[in-house]
């Protein structure tokens, strides 16, 4: 039996290089998503918050956090050496505010020596690579790593109702087309965009894209409160929850 690639192809240098060079073009509303992930963090910008970034890739989320929260430290976990090489270069200017940890999130022992507790655990476009079983376990693992009042927020691809699948796929590609035009001035056809993505990103078939409503239930089952989808565009959603604060008052989250 063929071995399952738990990284879903992200170990390959060419796939990684393509994503790193093009993520702001091929992920709809990429900048809005990264900005909003950081907007969700309810702390003062000068607080030395500790953040964990799961499936951190080349460090885009970490960089967005550190740009705003200049005293923060971010632990970036990813399973791809190729991605980590990019992260090392990109985040070098933050010195010891960043720690890069090579781990496979498909394995429950990824938490070994990971430190914490954390104020926030964030993830972008990564957790859909884990099986549904692992995603549920991860909710519990992250809960244990968070401070009371800490956030676990996932920015990820979610399952679209079958009725809309084809139409949403077209709308996603039109959004990408518009984004490319705005950023580069070039109008590319939908066919070109699809062909390029298929050639460079080579879907491996090992993704496990789950419905949003199911994932919100997993967050609740792990003990999170304030569980909701905070932002959504077609098949992309930013959702999560809060570990209950000790005294259950909003002020204790911010203290």
Ligand X SMILES: C[S@@+](CC[C@H](N)C(=O)[O-])C[C@H]1O[C@@H](n2cnc3c(N)ncnc32)[C@H](O)[C@@H]1O
Contact residues toward ligand X (CB under 6 A) are: 6-8, 10, 19, 23, 55-58, 60-61, 78-80, 83, 104-106, 124-126, 129
- Pick the closer one to ligand X by CB: 55 or 150: 55
C-beta of 56: minimal distance to ligand X in Å?
5
- Pick the closer one to ligand X by CB: 157 or 180: 157
Q: In what order do the strands lie in the sheet with 73-78?
A: 98-102, 73-78, 50-54, 118-124, 146-157, 236-242, 225-233
DSSP string, 140-183: HHHHHHEEEEEEEEEEEE-BPPGGGHHHHHHHHHHHHHHHHHHH
C-beta of 15: minimal distance to ligand X in Å?
9
C-beta of 182: minimal distance to ligand X in Å?
20
- Pick the closer one to ligand X by CB: 115 or 255: 115
Least Cα distance to 141 among 166, 114, 165 occurs for 114
C-beta of 61: minimal distance to ligand X in Å?
6
Cα separation, 48 vs 59, in Å, equals 19
Cα 151 to chain centroid, rounded: 13
- Pick the closer one to ligand X by CB: 142 or 253: 142
C-beta of 174: minimal distance to ligand X in Å?
21
- Pick the closer one to ligand X by CB: 129 or 243: 129
Interacting residues of 32 by C-beta distance below 8 A, sequence separation 6+ = none
């Amino acid at each position: 039996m063929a071995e399952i690639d738990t990284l879903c192809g992200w170990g390959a240098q060419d796939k990684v290089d393509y994503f790193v060079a093009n993520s702001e073009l091929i992920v709809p509303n990429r900048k809005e998503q990264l900005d909003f992930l950081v907007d969700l963090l309810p702390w003062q910008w000068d607080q030395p918050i500790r953040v964990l970034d799961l499936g951190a890739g080349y460090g885009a989320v970490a960089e967005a956090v550190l740009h705003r929260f200049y005293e923060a430290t971010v632990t970036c976990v990813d399973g791809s050496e190729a991605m980590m090489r990019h992260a090392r270069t990109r985040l070098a200017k933050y010195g010891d505010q960043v720690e890069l940890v090579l781990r496979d999130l498909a394995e429950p022992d990824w938490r070994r020596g990971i430190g914490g507790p954390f104020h926030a655990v964030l993830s972008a476009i990564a957790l859909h690579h884990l099986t549904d079983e692992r995603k549920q376990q991860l909710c519990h693992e992250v809960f244990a790593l968070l401070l009371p009042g800490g956030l676990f927020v996932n920015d990820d691809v979610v399952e679209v109702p079958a009725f809309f699948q084809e139409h949403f796929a077209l709308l996603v590609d039109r959004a990408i087309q518009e984004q490319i035009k705005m950023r580069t001035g070039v109008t590319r056809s939908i066919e070109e965009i699809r062909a390029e993505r298929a050639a460079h990103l080579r879907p491996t078939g090992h993704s496990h894209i789950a419905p949003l409503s199911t994932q919100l239930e997993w967050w609740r089952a792990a003990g999170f409160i304030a569980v909701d989808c905070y932002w959504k565009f077609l098949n992309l959603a930013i959702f999560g929850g809060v570990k209950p604060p000790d005294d259950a008052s909003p002020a204790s989250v911010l203290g």
